[in-house]
Amino acid sequence: MQTTIGSPAVFEGVGLHSGQPVRMVIHPAPADHGVVFRRTDVRAANPRIPALWDRVTPSRLCTLVENAEGVSVSTIEHVMAALVGAGVHNALIEIDGPEVPILDGSAAPFVAGIQAKGLRQLDAPLRAIRILKPVEVREGEAVARLDPAPALEIDFVIDFADAAIGRQAKRLNMANGAFVRELADSRTFCRQSDVEAMRANGLALGGTYENAVVVDGDRVLSPGGLRHADEAVRHKMLDALGDLALAGAPILGRYSGTRAGHAMTNRLLRALFADPSAWTWEECSPAQAYGLPGAGVCRASVAAR
């Protein structure tokens, strides 16, 4: 069955790229509502932006959704991953600015906040998107692909020149709380050499060593070091889950990414939905629902990270 959050969850912080303070509230929503953002600071235009693949517009280093009147919300990937990973299918997200708060740079604070409020089951069946045949997009050495699989799996490979990251690969079946246990606390990352360039272009204005992992060659500059030896690839998998959430329903299939990013995952979803023979709607049986990323997650799972 479909779910929503049990009661409103409040998050306050700054935007990673804007550096501006922001308050965001995840509210319960009815069945078949999906995830919708509402800009509470917008008065002269439609403030509602559905979190869907066809509302994504080009944006550097994050995922941005925009409605037909040009109202947008950016850096939505971490909260979207948290909603999927916590098992929330419907939510109204009110936000008083143009960018989701970065918090600690991971999805863990969002997951903890959602789980503190609990879930409410709705009287409506849950439908998923079953992948029927391979779909792939490429750009140079970067590849993103969807293949048939019984449940959602994510397989990711990254390769950076900095020895602190290097080549990392990880594959994970996302069933039964794997996202919360394995990926949710992994933070966004960047190279020190990129920081000044980003800030010169008006990006990463809210970034700190506390809300991002910053590396320089073989050194990790952020206090406390890494949360996982392969934190970088885990975070890329977190991002991929958040971007796949913009399909609008759970995906039953395997996502493979090699050097892929937000834009490429969105291109993959566009390629998928452009080919009706590549996917189908499927009502989830209880067994299938139990195999989704958010099934079986509890507050103890968050605490056990």
Q: List the domains of the chain with CATH numbers.
A: 3-121 (3.30.230.20), 127-303 (3.30.1700.10)
Structure confidence at residue 121 as a pLDDT band (50, 70, 90): very high
Tokens (6 digits) for 70: 């040009």
Tell me how far CA of residue 52 lies from CA of 72, 77, 242, in angstroms.
Answer: 12, 12, 11
Spatial distance between the Cα atoms of 79 and 65, rounded to a whole number of angstroms: 13
The Cα diameter of the chain in Å comes to: 53
Q: Looking at 174-261, list the stretches that DSSP marks H as alpha helix, in order from N- to C-terminal side.
A: 178, 192-200, 231-244
Question: What is the reported pLDDT for 211?
Answer: 86
Least confident piece of the model among 83-87, 193-197, 269-273: 193-197
Question: What is the reported pLDDT for 19?
Answer: 83
**What is the mean predicted confidence (pLDDT) over 124-148?**
97
pLDDT-above-70 percentage for the chain: 96
The β-bridge partners of 173 are 153
Question: What is the reported pLDDT for 299?
Answer: 55
Question: What is the reported pLDDT for 291?
Answer: 86
Three-state DSSP class for residue 64: strand
Q: Which is catalytic among the residues 17, 78, 89, 262?
A: 262
Q: Is pLDDT above 90 for 118?
A: yes
Tokens (6 digits) for 273: 């939905």
Predicted TM-score of the model (pTM): 0.94
Q: Is 99 exposed, middle or buried (0-12, 13-18, 19+ CB in 10 A)?
A: buried
Question: What is the reported pLDDT for 286?
Answer: 87
Question: What is the reported pLDDT for 298?
Answer: 59
Count of helices and strands (H, E) across the chain:
8, 21
Q: Which helix (H) or strand (E) holds 260?
A: none
- 228 belongs to the catalytic site: no
Spatial distance between the Cα atoms of 286 and 302, rounded to a whole number of angstroms: 24
Which has the closest alpha carbon to 237: 294, 188, 302, 304? 188
Tokens (6 digits) for 164: 């602190």
Question: What is the reported pLDDT for 303?
Answer: 41
Question: What is the reported pLDDT for 304?
Answer: 43
Q: Which helix (H) or strand (E) holds 77?
A: helix 77-86
Which has the closest alpha carbon to 80: 280, 240, 275? 240
**What is the mean predicted confidence (pLDDT) over 216-234?**
93
Tokens (6 digits) for 114: 């959602």
Tell me how far CA of residue 163 lies from CA of 38, 60, 159, 183, 238, in angstroms.
Answer: 41, 24, 10, 21, 22
Three-state DSSP class for residue 152: coil
Least confident piece of the model among 32-46, 99-113, 131-145, 290-304: 290-304
Question: What is the reported pLDDT for 207?
Answer: 74
